[in-house]
Amino acid sequence: MDAELSANRPLVGHDWAVAHLIDVATPDPGPEPPVWSRLRHAYLLTGARHIGRSTLAGQLAGALLCREPTGTACGACADCISFTGGNHPDFLLVDPTTTDGEPDRDGGVLRAEQADAILHFTVMKPFQSRFRVVLIRELQRATPAFANHLLKTFEEPPAATLLLATATDTSTILPTLVSRCQTLKLRPSSRATLRTALQTRWEAEPERADLLSRLAQGRMGWAVLQLEDARMWQRRNRNRALATDLAASSIPERLAQADALAVHSSPAQLQEQVGFWLWWWRDVWLIQHNLADSCVNVDCEDELESLAARVRAADVTAFLQRLERAIQQMRANVNGRLVMTSLMIHMPMAA
Ligand SMILES: [Zn+2]
């Protein structure tokens, strides 16, 4: 089963989106069998990875698959149990895959044969619930063939079919596909919301909760992953060590590192790396401008202060602009190696 998909996994923040989806998942008062007049046939949830898109989609799917049509999943009926267990016959999860057919949300793509599987799934009537629900994740990774095969289904899905999709952003998705969905844009949650939730719901120590809420950039799922998966935290600490090393490295050393990163990282990992640098160098900039209280990497104070003293403030400002541009370029699928090479050349050099 997928931990993000459960009939009643807690979702932190996004109150307006939660309220809206509970409303549309609640049947009209009166008629039997129930009627869902406010429910659209397709929803697209957009926002950064780990912000809560799948969890929210799972809540809507769970509510509509549940035996009790009340707007939220009861969590206890046979439908809720099989949905949470990952084997509900009226639910289809479609993730990008590698060429070997392995799910890979970062490096895989959505393929034509997966679109065919969706078409096949939606022509059949619901087996045990009132709806058939399809969740397509990372729609921005759709091949043109995938998108074209599904255009008609998104325009006019068969009765009792709900199409859900998530995407990091809509700029690379076929506009005719986007226009057929109701789009809900999830925004980062506040630091205080994250910190409180980490302490109360996940029982994190206050200090850890504070650090993670600063680093998470508003993404609850990211903070929870750090708590639950030690490898994620190790990766963050590797990024931090690399950032310190690179500032003191020569240009040839940096270019060798850019090559190594480009070869061994998926596009999403490269984006994460650049995202980390943005926050790292922003902290350096804040210290140089006597604004250290606003730093996010509060556990690296000594490293950051030492760096801030050894690089020129003007170089840091210029590099921050480059990092922001690099993130835009990577979202637009500009070659990762080119972007990394340019960043390595312009990264401030520690004296
Ligand atoms: Zn239920």
What is the arithmetic mean of pLDDT over 289-311? 92
For residues 280 and 243, the answer to whether their CB atoms sit within 8 Å is: yes
The ipTM estimated for the assembled molecules is: 0.99
pLDDT of residue 2: 66
Domain ranges of the chain: 15-185, 191-228, 229-346
User: What is the distance in A from the centroid of ligand 1 to the CA of 271?
Assistant: 39
Which CATH class for the 229-346 domain?
mainly alpha
Tokens 């980390």 locate to 276
Phi and psi at 181, nearest 5°, equal -110, 155
What is the predicted pLDDT for the residue at 104?
86
Average pLDDT over residues 29-48: 91
State residue 178's pLDDT score: 94
Label residue 158 by pLDDT band (50, 70, 90): very high
Of 6-10, 158-162, 181-185, 278-282, minimum mean pLDDT range: 6-10
Residue 48 · residue 220 · CB < 8 Å? no
End-to-end CA distance of the chain: 51
Q: How far is the CA of 82 from the centre of ligand 1 (A)?
A: 10
CA 266 → CA 6, 139, 167, 230, distances in Å? 28, 17, 17, 20
Rounded distance from Cα 97 to ligand 1 centre (Å): 30
- Measured from the Cβ of residue 308, the count of other Cβ atoms closer than 10 Å reads 20
Mean pLDDT computed over 299-325: 95
Torsion of CA 232, 237, 243, 249, to 10 degrees: -120
61 alpha carbon – ligand 1 mean position (Å):
11
CA of 64 from ligand 1 middle (Å) equals 9
- Measure 76 CA to ligand 1 centroid, in angstroms: 5
Query: How far apart are alpha carbons 187 and 178 in whole angstroms?
Result: 18
CA of 30 to the centre of ligand 1 (A): 20
Bridge partner residues of 163 (DSSP): 42, 134
Distance 89 CA to ligand 1 centre (A): 14
- For the ranges 192-201, 292-301, 316-325, which has the lowest average pLDDT? 292-301
* pLDDT recorded at residue 236: 87
Q: How many CA atoms lie within 13 A of 272 on its CB side?
A: 18
Predicted confidence band at 32 (pLDDT cuts at 50, 70, 90)? confident
Compute the distance between CA of residue 208 and CA of residue 254 in angstroms, rounded to an integer: 32
Q: How confident is the model at residue 199 (pLDDT cuts 50, 70, 90)?
A: very high
The neighbour count for residue 52, using CB atoms within 10 Å, is 27
Question: For residue range 40-97, what is the model confidence (pLDDT) as tens digits?
Answer: 999 999 999 899 999 999 999 999 999 999 999 999 999 999 999 999 999 999 999 9
Which residue is listed with tokens 């990091």? Answer: 168
Rg value, the chain, Cα: 22
Cα of 74 from ligand 1 centre, angstroms: 4
In this predicted structure, the answer to whether residue 142 has a pLDDT above a threshold of 90 is: yes
* 45, β-bridge pairs: 166, 184
* Dist CA 49 CA 122 (whole Å): 27
Architecture of domain 15-185: 3-Layer(aba) Sandwich (3.40)
Alpha-carbon separation of residue 200 from 11, 214, 329, 343 (angstroms):
13, 17, 38, 40
Ligand 1 centre from 337 Cα, in Å? 48
pLDDT digits (tens, 9 = 90+) for 252-288: 999 999 999 988 888 888 888 899 999 999 999 999 9
Distance between Cα 323 and ligand 1 center (Å):
46
CA of residue 121 to ligand 1 center, whole Å? 22
- The whole-chain average pLDDT of the chain stands at 92
**Model pLDDT, residue 12:** 86
Percent of the chain's residues with pLDDT above 70: 98
